[in-house]
Amino acid sequence: MATGALLPAGDAGPRGAGERRQTTAKGEPARPEAVLLIGLQGSGKSSFYRERFFATHVRINLDMLRTRRRETLLIDACLPGGTPFVIDNTNPTIAARARYLAPARAAGFRCTGYYFDLPLALCLARNAARPPGERIPPVGLYGMRKRLQPPTLAEGFDALYRVTVGDDGAPLVAAWATEA
Ligand SMILES: Nc1ncnc2c1ncn2[C@@H]1O[C@H](COP(=O)(O)OP(=O)(O)OP(=O)(O)O)[C@@H](O)[C@H]1O
Ligand SMILES: [Mg+2]
């Protein structure tokens, strides 16, 4: 169940007003942040990363890195020094997310999830409008849709947000309260 007002992306600077960040007296983040983006192909995760996190968080994307070994090396470079990062994968299942949540929590990171809850038809349309080399076969989206498990706080998230689409097509972010 989603709670809280819908917030235009970037309404209050880089974050929407409802996206809380714990800070020290000096305004620095109290804990480094690990962000997991969760959603179908074409739901807008990488675009959201570019808009919200490009200046502050390292992007970790398995499609670009190609191998789990490279991905692990990059995450291991972020964890000890407290470098904020975003896992920009589809992250559809509890098991897929646990791969990142467990080490991030163990390293003292605050773990935040953004669940892209968009209509399948919109994801299909956005995917179809991509350049040919970036399109994936529609059957991939149908399969992912079946596997997708909405995230819950019980998985180890400190905060969860739901991302939908506003009338103007821009992302809308709202607090996402879920239970195990
Ligand atoms: N708010 C938006 N309005 C219109 N088009 C958008 C919006 N967000 C993203 N798009 C477009 O939709 C397509 C998919 O977006 P994006 O690449 O961010 O999705 P993704 O979730 O990262 O997909 P994938 O999981 O395949 O990497 C892109 O062509 C992008 O330009
Ligand atoms: Mg992407």
H helical segments located in the chain: 45-52, 62-65, 68-78, 94-106, 120-128, 138-147
Cα torsion at 89, 92, 95, 97 (round to 10°)?
40
Number of Cβ atoms within 10 Å of the Cβ of 115: 23
Quick check: 170 pLDDT over 50?
Answer: yes
* Phi–psi pair at 116, nearest 5 degrees: -85, 100
Mutation to probe ligand 1, out of 46, 54, 117, 127 (largest number of atoms < 8 A from CB) = 46
Residue 171 in contact with ligand 1 by CB distance below 6 A:
yes
0.85 exceeded by pTM: yes
Cα(158)–Cα(139) distance, rounded to whole angstroms? 33
pLDDT tens string 15-47 = 654 566 666 666 666 899 999 999 999 999 999
pLDDT of residue 17: 46
pLDDT tens string 81-136 = 999 999 999 999 999 999 999 999 999 999 999 999 999 999 999 999 999 999 99
Residue with CA at minimum distance from ligand 1 atom 10? 44
Q: State the amino acid at position 168 in one-letter form.
A: D
pLDDT of residue 6: 45
pLDDT of residue 64: 96
The verdict on domain 6-17+33-175 having CATH code 3.40.50.300 is yes
